[in-house]
Amino acid sequence: MKRIKLPVHIAFIMDGNGRWARRRFRPRAFGHRAGVQNMTKVCAHAFKIGVRIVTVFALSTENLSRPKEELDELFELFRVYFCKKKERLLEMQVKINVLGDISVLPQDIQDDILEMTEETSCYCGGLMNICINYGARQEIVRAVNTAVSYGRFVDETSFKDLLSTSGIPDPDLIIRTGGEVRLSNFLLYQAAYSELYFSKKMWPEFSRRDLERAIENYSARDRRYGNIRG
Protein backbone atom coordinates (compact mmCIF):
# COMPACT_ATOMS: atom_id res chain seq x y z
CA MET A 1 0.00 0.00 0.00
CA LYS A 2 1.38 3.44 -0.87
CA ARG A 3 2.04 5.99 1.90
CA ILE A 4 -1.32 7.14 3.15
CA LYS A 5 -3.20 8.62 6.10
CA LEU A 6 -4.64 5.69 8.02
CA PRO A 7 -7.96 5.89 9.83
CA VAL A 8 -7.62 5.08 13.53
CA HIS A 9 -11.10 3.57 13.69
CA ILE A 10 -12.98 1.80 10.89
CA ALA A 11 -16.56 0.58 11.25
CA PHE A 12 -18.14 -1.95 8.89
CA ILE A 13 -21.76 -2.53 7.90
CA MET A 14 -21.34 -6.03 6.53
CA ASP A 15 -24.31 -6.11 4.17
CA GLY A 16 -25.07 -8.50 1.33
CA ASN A 17 -24.56 -11.96 2.81
CA GLY A 18 -28.06 -13.09 1.85
CA ARG A 19 -27.88 -11.82 -1.74
CA TRP A 20 -24.41 -13.29 -2.17
CA ALA A 21 -25.78 -16.70 -1.16
CA ARG A 22 -28.92 -16.39 -3.29
CA ARG A 23 -26.85 -15.69 -6.39
CA ARG A 24 -25.15 -19.03 -5.72
CA PHE A 25 -28.51 -20.78 -5.20
CA ARG A 26 -27.59 -21.40 -1.58
CA PRO A 27 -29.47 -20.66 1.67
CA ARG A 28 -28.95 -17.37 3.49
CA ALA A 29 -27.08 -19.17 6.27
CA PHE A 30 -24.40 -20.06 3.70
CA GLY A 31 -23.95 -16.32 3.11
CA HIS A 32 -23.66 -15.58 6.82
CA ARG A 33 -21.03 -18.30 7.22
CA ALA A 34 -19.04 -16.82 4.35
CA GLY A 35 -19.64 -13.39 5.89
CA VAL A 36 -18.15 -14.25 9.24
CA GLN A 37 -15.11 -15.85 7.60
CA ASN A 38 -14.63 -12.71 5.60
CA MET A 39 -15.05 -10.60 8.73
CA THR A 40 -12.06 -12.26 10.41
CA LYS A 41 -10.00 -11.98 7.21
CA VAL A 42 -10.74 -8.30 6.55
CA CYS A 43 -10.50 -7.23 10.21
CA ALA A 44 -7.20 -9.09 10.68
CA HIS A 45 -5.88 -7.25 7.64
CA ALA A 46 -7.07 -3.91 8.98
CA PHE A 47 -5.17 -4.48 12.24
CA LYS A 48 -2.13 -5.75 10.32
CA ILE A 49 -1.83 -2.55 8.33
CA GLY A 50 -2.11 -0.41 11.46
CA VAL A 51 -5.77 0.37 12.07
CA ARG A 52 -6.24 0.45 15.86
CA ILE A 53 -10.01 0.05 16.24
CA VAL A 54 -12.48 -1.93 14.16
CA THR A 55 -16.23 -2.03 14.80
CA VAL A 56 -18.52 -4.52 13.04
CA PHE A 57 -22.31 -4.52 12.85
CA ALA A 58 -23.05 -8.20 13.46
CA LEU A 59 -26.73 -7.95 14.38
CA SER A 60 -28.97 -4.91 14.55
CA THR A 61 -31.90 -4.57 16.94
CA GLU A 62 -34.13 -4.59 13.85
CA ASN A 63 -32.51 -7.82 12.55
CA LEU A 64 -34.07 -9.58 15.55
CA SER A 65 -37.39 -9.60 13.72
CA ARG A 66 -35.95 -11.91 11.04
CA PRO A 67 -37.35 -15.47 10.84
CA LYS A 68 -36.38 -17.71 13.75
CA GLU A 69 -34.45 -20.12 11.50
CA GLU A 70 -32.16 -17.31 10.29
CA LEU A 71 -31.62 -16.00 13.82
CA ASP A 72 -30.81 -19.53 15.02
CA GLU A 73 -28.19 -19.79 12.27
CA LEU A 74 -26.68 -16.45 13.30
CA PHE A 75 -26.71 -17.49 16.98
CA GLU A 76 -24.94 -20.71 16.01
CA LEU A 77 -22.27 -18.64 14.27
CA PHE A 78 -21.81 -16.64 17.49
CA ARG A 79 -21.52 -19.94 19.37
CA VAL A 80 -18.81 -21.13 16.95
CA TYR A 81 -16.80 -17.91 16.92
CA PHE A 82 -17.10 -17.08 20.63
CA CYS A 83 -16.58 -20.64 21.87
CA LYS A 84 -15.99 -23.72 19.66
CA LYS A 85 -13.55 -22.05 17.26
CA LYS A 86 -12.73 -18.97 19.26
CA GLU A 87 -9.08 -19.12 18.21
CA ARG A 88 -10.20 -17.50 14.92
CA LEU A 89 -10.98 -14.32 16.82
CA LEU A 90 -8.24 -14.78 19.41
CA GLU A 91 -5.46 -15.04 16.84
CA MET A 92 -5.95 -11.37 15.95
CA GLN A 93 -4.56 -10.62 19.44
CA VAL A 94 -6.98 -7.74 19.90
CA LYS A 95 -9.32 -6.82 22.72
CA ILE A 96 -12.86 -7.97 21.93
CA ASN A 97 -15.65 -5.73 23.14
CA VAL A 98 -19.35 -6.35 22.52
CA LEU A 99 -21.75 -3.41 22.12
CA GLY A 100 -25.52 -3.78 22.35
CA ASP A 101 -28.02 -5.57 24.54
CA ILE A 102 -26.93 -9.20 24.54
CA SER A 103 -29.51 -10.24 27.15
CA VAL A 104 -31.69 -11.45 24.24
CA LEU A 105 -29.11 -14.11 23.32
CA PRO A 106 -29.22 -17.67 24.69
CA GLN A 107 -27.46 -17.78 28.08
CA ASP A 108 -24.58 -19.98 26.87
CA ILE A 109 -23.65 -17.40 24.20
CA GLN A 110 -23.80 -14.57 26.74
CA ASP A 111 -21.42 -16.60 28.94
CA ASP A 112 -19.07 -17.25 25.99
CA ILE A 113 -19.05 -13.55 25.13
CA LEU A 114 -18.22 -12.60 28.70
CA GLU A 115 -15.42 -15.16 28.77
CA MET A 116 -13.99 -13.90 25.50
CA THR A 117 -14.08 -10.24 26.57
CA GLU A 118 -12.32 -11.18 29.82
CA GLU A 119 -9.79 -13.39 28.04
CA THR A 120 -8.86 -10.67 25.56
CA SER A 121 -8.97 -7.75 27.99
CA CYS A 122 -5.16 -7.71 28.27
CA TYR A 123 -4.52 -7.98 24.50
CA CYS A 124 -3.01 -4.81 23.11
CA GLY A 125 -2.98 -5.40 19.33
CA GLY A 126 -6.06 -3.23 18.90
CA LEU A 127 -9.75 -3.14 19.77
CA MET A 128 -12.55 -4.95 17.98
CA ASN A 129 -16.11 -3.90 18.84
CA ILE A 130 -18.76 -6.39 17.81
CA CYS A 131 -22.25 -4.87 17.75
CA ILE A 132 -24.97 -7.39 18.61
CA ASN A 133 -28.60 -6.36 19.09
CA TYR A 134 -27.30 -2.83 18.67
CA GLY A 135 -29.43 0.11 17.54
CA ALA A 136 -28.21 3.69 17.57
CA ARG A 137 -31.58 5.29 18.32
CA GLN A 138 -32.10 2.91 21.24
CA GLU A 139 -28.58 3.73 22.45
CA ILE A 140 -29.31 7.48 22.34
CA VAL A 141 -32.69 7.15 24.08
CA ARG A 142 -31.09 5.00 26.81
CA ALA A 143 -28.38 7.62 27.33
CA VAL A 144 -30.97 10.41 27.59
CA ASN A 145 -32.94 8.40 30.16
CA THR A 146 -29.79 7.76 32.17
CA ALA A 147 -29.03 11.50 32.23
CA VAL A 148 -32.64 12.24 33.26
CA SER A 149 -32.48 9.62 36.03
CA TYR A 150 -29.37 11.37 37.37
CA GLY A 151 -31.27 14.67 37.16
CA ARG A 152 -28.40 16.10 35.09
CA PHE A 153 -28.00 18.28 32.05
CA VAL A 154 -25.37 16.94 29.66
CA ASP A 155 -22.90 18.48 27.27
CA GLU A 156 -21.33 16.71 24.29
CA THR A 157 -18.53 15.23 26.38
CA SER A 158 -20.65 13.94 29.25
CA PHE A 159 -23.31 12.65 26.83
CA LYS A 160 -20.72 10.61 24.93
CA ASP A 161 -19.78 8.93 28.18
CA LEU A 162 -23.34 7.62 28.47
CA LEU A 163 -23.15 5.86 25.09
CA SER A 164 -21.99 2.27 24.70
CA THR A 165 -18.90 3.59 22.90
CA SER A 166 -17.78 5.59 25.92
CA GLY A 167 -14.02 6.13 25.81
CA ILE A 168 -13.73 4.93 22.18
CA PRO A 169 -12.89 7.53 19.53
CA ASP A 170 -15.56 8.04 16.85
CA PRO A 171 -15.13 6.05 13.63
CA ASP A 172 -13.02 7.91 11.07
CA LEU A 173 -14.34 5.75 8.26
CA ILE A 174 -17.55 3.74 7.94
CA ILE A 175 -17.60 1.18 5.15
CA ARG A 176 -20.87 -0.35 3.97
CA THR A 177 -20.94 -3.16 1.46
CA GLY A 178 -23.91 -4.56 -0.47
CA GLY A 179 -24.74 -1.52 -2.60
CA GLU A 180 -27.12 0.25 -0.18
CA VAL A 181 -26.32 3.86 0.67
CA ARG A 182 -27.56 4.36 4.23
CA LEU A 183 -26.50 3.95 7.86
CA SER A 184 -29.40 1.75 9.03
CA ASN A 185 -29.38 2.86 12.68
CA PHE A 186 -25.62 2.29 13.10
CA LEU A 187 -23.53 4.65 15.28
CA LEU A 188 -25.73 7.65 14.42
CA TYR A 189 -24.30 9.94 17.11
CA GLN A 190 -20.70 8.79 16.62
CA ALA A 191 -20.88 9.12 12.81
CA ALA A 192 -21.35 12.91 12.83
CA TYR A 193 -17.95 13.47 11.15
CA SER A 194 -17.15 9.98 9.90
CA GLU A 195 -16.20 9.58 6.27
CA LEU A 196 -18.60 7.19 4.54
CA TYR A 197 -17.58 4.66 1.89
CA PHE A 198 -20.07 2.50 0.03
CA SER A 199 -19.09 -0.57 -1.95
CA LYS A 200 -21.32 -2.41 -4.41
CA LYS A 201 -19.60 -5.66 -3.49
CA MET A 202 -21.49 -8.08 -1.26
CA TRP A 203 -19.79 -8.52 2.12
CA PRO A 204 -18.44 -12.08 1.54
CA GLU A 205 -16.61 -10.85 -1.58
CA PHE A 206 -15.21 -7.63 -0.07
CA SER A 207 -11.47 -8.37 -0.15
CA ARG A 208 -8.37 -7.15 1.66
CA ARG A 209 -7.55 -5.17 -1.49
CA ASP A 210 -11.03 -3.59 -1.41
CA LEU A 211 -10.30 -2.50 2.17
CA GLU A 212 -7.05 -0.90 1.02
CA ARG A 213 -8.91 0.89 -1.79
CA ALA A 214 -11.42 2.26 0.73
CA ILE A 215 -8.57 3.48 2.94
CA GLU A 216 -6.79 5.08 -0.04
CA ASN A 217 -10.03 6.83 -0.92
CA TYR A 218 -10.40 8.02 2.71
CA SER A 219 -6.80 9.18 2.74
CA ALA A 220 -7.39 11.49 -0.20
CA ARG A 221 -10.33 13.24 1.47
CA ASP A 222 -10.13 16.62 3.12
CA ARG A 223 -11.71 16.41 6.58
CA ARG A 224 -12.69 19.92 7.55
CA TYR A 225 -15.11 19.28 10.45
CA GLY A 226 -17.15 22.29 9.39
CA ASN A 227 -14.09 24.53 9.19
CA ILE A 228 -12.59 25.91 5.97
CA ARG A 229 -9.49 23.73 5.86
CA GLY A 230 -8.52 20.31 7.19
Binding site for ligand FPP (CB under 6 A): 14-19, 32, 35-36, 39, 58, 63, 77-78, 81, 130, 178
Nearest approach, Cβ of 3 to ligand FPP (angstroms)? 32
In terms of DSSP H, where are the helices of 68-207?
Answer: 68-79, 87-90, 107-119, 136-149, 156-160
| Residue whose beta carbon is closest to ligand FPP | 18
Residue 63 known to be catalytic:
yes
**Are the CB atoms for 96 and 121 separated by under 8 Å?**
no
Query: Is the CB of 63 or the CB of 185 nearer to ligand FPP?
Result: 63
Nearest approach, Cβ of 141 to ligand FPP (angstroms)? 22
Nearest approach, Cβ of 202 to ligand FPP (angstroms)? 7
Phi, psi of 125 (to 5 degrees): -75, -5
Torsion of CA 119, 121, 124, 128, to 10 degrees: 90
Query: Is the CB of 19 or the CB of 52 nearer to ligand FPP?
Result: 19
Cα–Cα dist 1/204, whole Å: 22
Question: Which one of 17, 38, 63, 111 is the catalytic residue?
Answer: 63
Catalytic site positions: 15, 63
